[in-house]
Amino acid sequence: MKHPKRRKIGRNEQKPLRKGNKFHQQGKKQNAERADIRLNKFIADAGVCSRREADKLIAAGEITVNGKVETNMGTRVTREDLVKYKGEALKREKFVYILINKPKDYITTMNDDRDRKTVLDLIDGACKERVYPVGRLDRNTTGLLLMTNDGELTKRLTHPSHNVTKIYVAELDKQVAPEHLEELMKGFELEDGFSKFDSAEYDPKTRSKNTILVKIHSGKNRIVRRSFEHLGYDVKKLDRIQFATLKKGALTRGKWRFLNRKEVGYLKMTK
């Protein structure tokens, strides 16, 4: 006797959970779990800062909940509660993650008093949320730049302790000596501290000794350019082709795209 085929559950369809003789929809369970959250997460989700920094704001008495100063870091709140910081009501934002392939001559700031082009001009109209750059690229550097309103992730990706990987292709004014590649990886002192590349090699794509593939985790300002200048080279072009787990792929210069859920998940796994 043939048994009737079971109907397949669609990708976006919630699958009922069996408990005893009853079925409980996942959605109800999830809604119950999300009814309230810790105050520090609410603040982080509002784009103010990371959870750790939010704890400091709470402890300092800078957060009010429903008109009263709240200093208990274990406090939980719901969307109906009125949470304020510096007198302004906070609202949990929808997190947005945008990857840009930055062209030359765009600066990595929110606004510019000299009326120069900024990276915000590249994503004009992309979203209603207020996003900001994660780290920065100088005006003449091209390549990958992440924009988001996720304060906690921004903190994770920019804090030195997390050693986030950045990969660049640097085009120099002359051929780079092999011993200088070794020196870049051994490290040396610059005016603001020690500089050391994770790796430095001739770009396997071009096989040119003028073009170097550089891997670093330092977030110091203009560290790649300054390191080559220290050895007597002038960086003609600098292009970031990887940031953390994000790679350029088919994203062309001057274009942008939203990250998918999987990409965001990998970023949040950054240690």
Residues 6+ apart with CB under 8 A from 175: 209, 210
112, 138, 173, 234: the catalytic one is 138
- Picking from 154, 179, 75, the residue whose alpha carbon sits closest to that of residue 146 is 154
CA angle at 135 for the pair 199 and 259, rounded to the nearest 5° = 90
Radius of gyration of the chain (CA): 24
Torsion of the alpha carbons at 144, 147, 151 and 157, rounded to the nearest 10: 0
Asked if 203 is an active-site residue, the reply is no
For the annotated catalytic residues, the residue numbers are 138
